[in-house]
Amino acid sequence: MKKNIAIIMGGYSSEYKISLNSGNVVYQNLDNTKYIGYRIHIFKDKWVYVDANDTEFTIDKNDFSVTVNDTKITFDCVFNAIHGSPGEDGFMQGYFALINMPQTSCDMYQAGLTFNKRDCLSVLKPYGILTAESYYLNLGDVINETEIVAKVGLPCFVKANKAGSSFGISKVHKKEDLQQAIDVAFKEDDEIIIESFLDGVEVSVGVITYKGETKVLPITEIVSENDFFDYEAKYLGKSKEITPARLTKTQEEQVYTVAKKVYEVLKMKGFSRSEFIFKNGEPHLLEMNTIPGLTTASILPQQAQAAGISMQDLFSSAIEEALK
Protein backbone atom coordinates (compact mmCIF):
# COMPACT_ATOMS: atom_id res chain seq x y z
CA MET A 1 0.00 0.00 0.00
CA LYS A 2 1.30 3.44 -0.91
CA LYS A 3 1.51 5.90 1.96
CA ASN A 4 -0.25 9.29 1.88
CA ILE A 5 2.27 12.08 2.43
CA ALA A 6 1.09 15.63 3.23
CA ILE A 7 3.72 18.10 2.02
CA ILE A 8 3.18 21.29 4.00
CA MET A 9 4.42 24.53 2.43
CA GLY A 10 3.83 28.29 2.54
CA GLY A 11 3.75 29.60 6.09
CA TYR A 12 3.32 32.96 7.74
CA SER A 13 6.74 34.55 7.13
CA SER A 14 8.37 36.59 4.37
CA GLU A 15 9.88 33.34 3.07
CA TYR A 16 6.54 31.78 2.04
CA LYS A 17 7.27 31.91 -1.72
CA ILE A 18 10.56 30.08 -1.26
CA SER A 19 8.71 27.50 0.86
CA LEU A 20 6.16 26.95 -1.93
CA ASN A 21 9.08 26.29 -4.31
CA SER A 22 10.66 23.84 -1.84
CA GLY A 23 7.35 22.05 -1.28
CA ASN A 24 6.73 21.66 -4.99
CA VAL A 25 10.21 20.20 -5.51
CA VAL A 26 9.48 17.62 -2.78
CA TYR A 27 6.14 16.87 -4.46
CA GLN A 28 7.78 16.39 -7.88
CA ASN A 29 10.57 14.17 -6.53
CA LEU A 30 8.60 11.83 -4.25
CA ASP A 31 9.02 8.15 -5.05
CA ASN A 32 5.58 7.46 -6.54
CA THR A 33 6.04 3.71 -6.19
CA LYS A 34 5.87 4.18 -2.39
CA TYR A 35 4.05 7.47 -1.74
CA ILE A 36 1.13 9.60 -2.84
CA GLY A 37 2.00 13.26 -2.31
CA TYR A 38 -0.55 15.92 -1.36
CA ARG A 39 0.36 19.62 -1.52
CA ILE A 40 -0.92 21.36 1.61
CA HIS A 41 -0.75 25.16 1.74
CA ILE A 42 -0.53 26.55 5.27
CA PHE A 43 -1.41 30.25 5.52
CA LYS A 44 -2.82 32.40 8.34
CA ASP A 45 -6.23 32.60 6.68
CA LYS A 46 -6.44 29.02 5.34
CA TRP A 47 -5.03 25.52 5.50
CA VAL A 48 -5.90 23.82 2.21
CA TYR A 49 -5.09 20.80 0.09
CA VAL A 50 -4.33 21.97 -3.47
CA ASP A 51 -4.99 19.33 -6.13
CA ALA A 52 -3.45 19.00 -9.62
CA ASN A 53 -5.99 21.50 -11.01
CA ASP A 54 -5.19 24.02 -8.24
CA THR A 55 -8.62 23.40 -6.65
CA GLU A 56 -8.51 23.99 -2.90
CA PHE A 57 -10.04 21.75 -0.22
CA THR A 58 -10.09 22.87 3.42
CA ILE A 59 -8.03 20.88 5.93
CA ASP A 60 -9.89 19.67 9.03
CA LYS A 61 -7.57 20.84 11.81
CA ASN A 62 -9.08 18.38 14.32
CA ASP A 63 -7.18 15.49 12.78
CA PHE A 64 -5.35 17.07 9.80
CA SER A 65 -7.54 15.30 7.24
CA VAL A 66 -9.25 16.53 4.09
CA THR A 67 -12.49 15.50 2.38
CA VAL A 68 -12.48 15.38 -1.42
CA ASN A 69 -15.65 14.37 -3.30
CA ASP A 70 -17.16 12.94 -0.10
CA THR A 71 -14.06 10.83 0.54
CA LYS A 72 -12.04 11.53 3.69
CA ILE A 73 -8.28 11.42 3.15
CA THR A 74 -5.94 10.92 6.11
CA PHE A 75 -2.17 11.07 6.05
CA ASP A 76 0.54 8.64 7.15
CA CYS A 77 3.22 11.30 7.46
CA VAL A 78 3.80 15.04 7.02
CA PHE A 79 6.77 16.33 5.03
CA ASN A 80 7.57 19.74 6.51
CA ALA A 81 8.80 22.26 3.88
CA ILE A 82 7.75 25.49 5.66
CA HIS A 83 10.62 27.97 6.16
CA GLY A 84 10.07 30.33 9.07
CA SER A 85 6.89 30.39 11.14
CA PRO A 86 4.94 28.16 11.81
CA GLY A 87 6.99 25.30 10.30
CA GLU A 88 10.46 26.09 11.60
CA ASP A 89 9.70 27.59 15.02
CA GLY A 90 7.96 24.65 16.71
CA PHE A 91 4.27 25.49 16.19
CA MET A 92 3.54 22.83 13.54
CA GLN A 93 5.74 20.31 15.38
CA GLY A 94 3.69 20.85 18.56
CA TYR A 95 0.41 20.52 16.68
CA PHE A 96 1.47 17.27 14.99
CA ALA A 97 2.76 15.86 18.30
CA LEU A 98 -0.66 16.54 19.86
CA ILE A 99 -2.53 14.67 17.11
CA ASN A 100 0.13 11.92 16.98
CA MET A 101 1.09 12.56 13.36
CA PRO A 102 4.63 11.63 12.21
CA GLN A 103 6.49 14.54 10.58
CA THR A 104 9.91 14.86 8.97
CA SER A 105 11.48 17.78 10.86
CA CYS A 106 12.94 18.00 14.36
CA ASP A 107 10.76 18.05 17.48
CA MET A 108 8.98 21.11 18.87
CA TYR A 109 11.59 22.13 21.47
CA GLN A 110 14.51 21.83 19.03
CA ALA A 111 12.61 23.84 16.40
CA GLY A 112 11.79 26.62 18.86
CA LEU A 113 15.33 26.70 20.22
CA THR A 114 17.18 26.76 16.88
CA PHE A 115 14.78 29.36 15.47
CA ASN A 116 15.79 31.69 18.29
CA LYS A 117 19.40 32.54 17.39
CA ARG A 118 20.14 34.06 20.83
CA ASP A 119 18.88 31.07 22.80
CA CYS A 120 20.45 28.49 20.50
CA LEU A 121 23.93 30.07 20.69
CA SER A 122 23.56 30.41 24.49
CA VAL A 123 22.79 26.69 24.85
CA LEU A 124 25.74 25.68 22.65
CA LYS A 125 28.44 27.90 24.17
CA PRO A 126 29.03 25.66 27.24
CA TYR A 127 29.81 22.81 24.82
CA GLY A 128 32.74 24.77 23.40
CA ILE A 129 31.00 25.86 20.21
CA LEU A 130 32.62 29.11 19.05
CA THR A 131 30.35 32.02 18.02
CA ALA A 132 30.58 35.72 17.16
CA GLU A 133 30.46 38.36 19.91
CA SER A 134 26.81 39.42 20.29
CA TYR A 135 24.51 42.06 21.78
CA TYR A 136 20.74 41.65 22.22
CA LEU A 137 17.81 44.06 22.04
CA ASN A 138 14.10 43.59 22.71
CA LEU A 139 11.54 45.95 21.20
CA GLY A 140 11.23 48.96 23.53
CA ASP A 141 14.75 48.67 24.99
CA VAL A 142 16.84 51.82 25.28
CA ILE A 143 19.34 51.79 22.40
CA ASN A 144 22.86 52.70 23.50
CA GLU A 145 24.87 52.85 20.26
CA THR A 146 28.18 53.49 22.04
CA GLU A 147 27.67 50.39 24.20
CA ILE A 148 26.73 48.27 21.18
CA VAL A 149 29.85 49.29 19.23
CA ALA A 150 32.05 48.75 22.30
CA LYS A 151 30.72 45.18 22.60
CA VAL A 152 30.64 43.99 18.97
CA GLY A 153 32.81 46.50 17.06
CA LEU A 154 32.34 47.70 13.48
CA PRO A 155 31.35 46.55 10.98
CA CYS A 156 28.63 44.46 12.62
CA PHE A 157 25.49 42.58 11.60
CA VAL A 158 22.03 43.52 12.83
CA LYS A 159 19.56 40.64 12.52
CA ALA A 160 16.04 39.74 13.48
CA ASN A 161 16.47 37.10 16.19
CA LYS A 162 13.61 34.81 15.16
CA ALA A 163 13.03 35.39 11.46
CA GLY A 164 15.23 33.05 9.48
CA SER A 165 18.36 34.51 7.92
CA SER A 166 17.17 36.26 4.78
CA PHE A 167 15.02 39.17 5.96
CA GLY A 168 15.66 42.00 8.42
CA ILE A 169 19.45 41.70 8.21
CA SER A 170 21.88 44.60 7.64
CA LYS A 171 25.63 44.98 7.69
CA VAL A 172 26.50 48.22 9.50
CA HIS A 173 29.81 50.00 8.85
CA LYS A 174 29.20 53.26 10.73
CA LYS A 175 27.74 53.93 14.18
CA GLU A 176 25.27 56.48 12.75
CA ASP A 177 23.73 53.76 10.55
CA LEU A 178 22.89 51.49 13.50
CA GLN A 179 19.45 52.97 14.20
CA GLN A 180 18.20 52.44 10.64
CA ALA A 181 19.41 48.81 10.66
CA ILE A 182 17.70 48.25 14.03
CA ASP A 183 14.44 49.67 12.62
CA VAL A 184 14.66 47.29 9.62
CA ALA A 185 15.19 44.28 11.90
CA PHE A 186 12.31 45.26 14.21
CA LYS A 187 9.96 45.13 11.19
CA GLU A 188 10.57 41.36 11.11
CA ASP A 189 10.76 40.53 14.82
CA ASP A 190 10.46 42.01 18.32
CA GLU A 191 13.91 40.70 19.28
CA ILE A 192 17.24 41.61 17.66
CA ILE A 193 20.70 40.11 17.72
CA ILE A 194 23.69 42.31 16.82
CA GLU A 195 26.85 40.36 16.04
CA SER A 196 30.49 41.17 15.41
CA PHE A 197 31.69 40.81 11.82
CA LEU A 198 33.79 37.69 11.31
CA ASP A 199 36.12 38.25 8.38
CA GLY A 200 36.86 34.81 6.97
CA VAL A 201 35.74 32.00 4.72
CA GLU A 202 32.00 31.32 5.07
CA VAL A 203 30.74 27.77 4.73
CA SER A 204 27.42 26.00 4.99
CA VAL A 205 27.02 22.35 5.89
CA GLY A 206 24.04 20.04 5.95
CA VAL A 207 23.68 17.46 8.68
CA ILE A 208 20.84 14.98 8.32
CA THR A 209 19.62 11.71 9.73
CA TYR A 210 20.01 9.41 6.72
CA LYS A 211 19.11 5.73 6.85
CA GLY A 212 19.30 5.72 10.64
CA GLU A 213 22.60 7.55 11.08
CA THR A 214 23.81 11.12 11.51
CA LYS A 215 25.36 12.08 8.19
CA VAL A 216 27.41 15.24 7.56
CA LEU A 217 27.13 16.23 3.91
CA PRO A 218 29.91 17.77 1.77
CA ILE A 219 30.63 21.39 2.78
CA THR A 220 29.67 24.37 0.60
CA GLU A 221 31.75 27.55 0.45
CA ILE A 222 29.70 30.74 0.10
CA VAL A 223 31.22 33.52 -2.00
CA SER A 224 28.72 36.40 -2.13
CA GLU A 225 28.81 39.09 -4.82
CA ASN A 226 27.04 41.33 -2.31
CA ASP A 227 28.52 42.60 0.95
CA PHE A 228 27.27 39.47 2.70
CA PHE A 229 25.10 36.37 2.09
CA ASP A 230 21.77 38.23 2.00
CA TYR A 231 18.43 37.46 0.30
CA GLU A 232 19.71 38.41 -3.17
CA ALA A 233 22.85 36.34 -2.73
CA LYS A 234 20.91 33.40 -1.38
CA TYR A 235 17.93 33.29 -3.74
CA LEU A 236 18.60 35.57 -6.73
CA GLY A 237 21.91 34.18 -7.90
CA LYS A 238 24.17 36.89 -6.42
CA SER A 239 26.59 34.36 -4.95
CA LYS A 240 28.85 31.48 -5.85
CA GLU A 241 28.25 28.29 -3.93
CA ILE A 242 31.21 25.97 -4.27
CA THR A 243 30.68 22.32 -3.27
CA PRO A 244 32.92 20.85 -2.02
CA ALA A 245 34.36 23.95 -0.32
CA ARG A 246 37.97 24.96 -0.95
CA LEU A 247 39.16 24.02 2.52
CA THR A 248 42.24 22.28 3.84
CA LYS A 249 41.77 18.76 5.17
CA THR A 250 42.14 20.15 8.71
CA GLN A 251 39.48 22.83 8.16
CA GLU A 252 37.15 20.26 6.62
CA GLU A 253 37.53 17.95 9.62
CA GLN A 254 36.94 20.87 12.02
CA VAL A 255 33.63 21.76 10.31
CA TYR A 256 32.52 18.12 10.15
CA THR A 257 33.28 17.61 13.85
CA VAL A 258 31.57 20.82 15.04
CA ALA A 259 28.51 20.44 12.77
CA LYS A 260 27.95 16.84 13.90
CA LYS A 261 28.44 17.85 17.56
CA VAL A 262 25.88 20.69 17.27
CA TYR A 263 23.33 18.32 15.66
CA GLU A 264 23.81 15.67 18.34
CA VAL A 265 24.04 18.03 21.35
CA LEU A 266 20.70 19.55 20.31
CA LYS A 267 19.20 16.05 19.75
CA MET A 268 18.19 17.01 16.24
CA LYS A 269 16.24 14.95 13.73
CA GLY A 270 15.54 15.42 10.05
CA PHE A 271 17.40 17.96 7.91
CA SER A 272 19.56 20.82 9.16
CA ARG A 273 21.95 23.30 7.61
CA SER A 274 24.47 25.20 9.71
CA GLU A 275 26.47 28.27 8.72
CA PHE A 276 30.04 28.84 9.91
CA ILE A 277 32.73 31.48 9.36
CA PHE A 278 36.40 30.75 9.95
CA LYS A 279 38.11 33.14 12.37
CA ASN A 280 41.65 32.56 13.66
CA GLY A 281 41.61 29.22 11.85
CA GLU A 282 38.52 27.90 13.64
CA PRO A 283 34.87 27.63 12.52
CA HIS A 284 32.46 29.92 14.40
CA LEU A 285 28.76 29.01 14.28
CA LEU A 286 26.39 31.69 12.94
CA GLU A 287 23.11 29.76 13.05
CA MET A 288 21.30 26.52 12.27
CA ASN A 289 18.34 26.18 9.90
CA THR A 290 16.07 23.19 10.50
CA ILE A 291 13.94 23.58 7.35
CA PRO A 292 16.60 24.48 4.78
CA GLY A 293 15.68 25.29 1.18
CA LEU A 294 14.91 22.19 -0.89
CA THR A 295 14.78 23.59 -4.43
CA THR A 296 17.22 22.26 -7.04
CA ALA A 297 19.30 25.44 -6.55
CA SER A 298 19.32 25.15 -2.74
CA ILE A 299 22.47 24.29 -0.82
CA LEU A 300 21.37 21.12 0.99
CA PRO A 301 20.18 19.28 -2.18
CA GLN A 302 23.45 20.32 -3.90
CA GLN A 303 25.38 18.80 -0.99
CA ALA A 304 23.29 15.63 -1.08
CA GLN A 305 23.98 15.28 -4.80
CA ALA A 306 27.72 15.69 -4.14
CA ALA A 307 27.40 12.86 -1.59
CA GLY A 308 25.71 10.66 -4.22
CA ILE A 309 22.22 11.00 -2.72
CA SER A 310 19.42 11.72 -5.20
CA MET A 311 16.52 14.05 -4.35
CA GLN A 312 14.22 11.02 -4.32
CA ASP A 313 16.45 9.14 -1.85
CA LEU A 314 16.88 12.25 0.30
CA PHE A 315 13.13 12.73 0.66
CA SER A 316 12.36 9.01 1.02
CA SER A 317 14.88 8.68 3.86
CA ALA A 318 13.33 11.65 5.69
CA ILE A 319 9.86 10.08 5.46
CA GLU A 320 11.07 6.62 6.54
CA GLU A 321 12.91 8.13 9.55
CA ALA A 322 9.72 9.96 10.59
CA LEU A 323 7.67 6.77 10.30
CA LYS A 324 9.98 4.74 12.60
Task: pLDDT tens for the chain, 324 residues: list them.
Answer: 999 999 999 999 888 999 999 999 999 999 999 999 999 999 999 999 999 999 999 999 999 999 999 999 999 999 999 999 999 999 999 999 999 999 999 999 999 999 999 999 999 999 999 999 999 999 999 999 999 999 999 999 999 998 765 678 999 999 999 999 999 999 999 999 999 999 999 999 999 999 999 999 999 999 977 665 555 545 555 678 999 999 999 999 999 999 999 999 999 999 999 999 999 999 999 999 999 999 988 999 999 999 999 999 999 999 999 999
DSSP 128-165: T--B--EEEEETT----HHHHHHHH-SSEEEEETTSTT
Residues whose CB falls within 8 Å of the CB of residue 240, separated by 6 or more in sequence, listed in order = 221, 222, 223, 225
109 phi/psi in degrees, rounded to 5: -60, -45
Long-range CB contacts (within 8 A, 24+) of 244-251: 244/218, 244/219, 244/220, 244/306, 245/201, 245/203, 245/218, 245/219, 245/220, 245/221, 246/201, 246/221, 247/201, 247/203, 247/219, 247/221, 251/201, 251/278, 251/281, 251/283
Is 241 in contact with 299 (CB distance < 8 Å)? yes
* 293/17 Cα distance (integer angstroms): 11
Q: Tell me how far CA of residue 85 lies from CA of 27, 88, 109, 122, 190, in angstroms.
A: 21, 6, 14, 21, 14
pTM for this entry: 0.91
Q: Residue 270 has what DSSP assignment?
A: S
